[in-house]
Amino acid sequence: MISAALSDISAAIDLEPLYVDAYWQRHLVNVSLNRPQQAIDDLNLLLQLKQDHVSALKSRLVQYNTIQGVGIYCENLHAEKNAFVVFPRLKNFLLC
């Protein structure tokens, strides 16, 4: 069932490569399949189309941490160019 969903979403992207929501949905399927790198790839494509997609920025950080480990979270957050622009008050709540 989930592989059929992945196939359908990929077909939608092939038909309409600018369809931002399709990248979001495919990333969610990849997350559910425990495929963080594929999820990141979809989020990167999504963010090329819509740079201010807050949920994509947040999810990309989470997926990077899935790959690299939780200890890298703060480093990734600081490296994420838009994170502090989108979440300006976030620095007040971090311990890193």
Domains and CATH numbers, the chain: 2-93 (1.25.40.10)
Q: For residues 13 and 19, is the Cβ–Cβ distance under 8 A?
A: yes
Q: What is the dihedral angle through the alpha carbons of 35, 39, 42, 43, rounded to the nearest 10 degrees?
A: -170
Query: What pTM was computed for the model?
Result: 0.71
Positive/negative CA dihedral, 38, 41, 43, 45: negative
Residue 86 makes CB contacts below 8 A (sequence gap 6+) with 52, 54, 57
Neighbours of 40 (CB within 10 A): 21
Q: What is the per-residue pLDDT for 7?
A: 94
Bigger pLDDT: 1 or 76? 1
Tell me the percentage of the chain whose pLDDT exceeds 90. Answer: 45
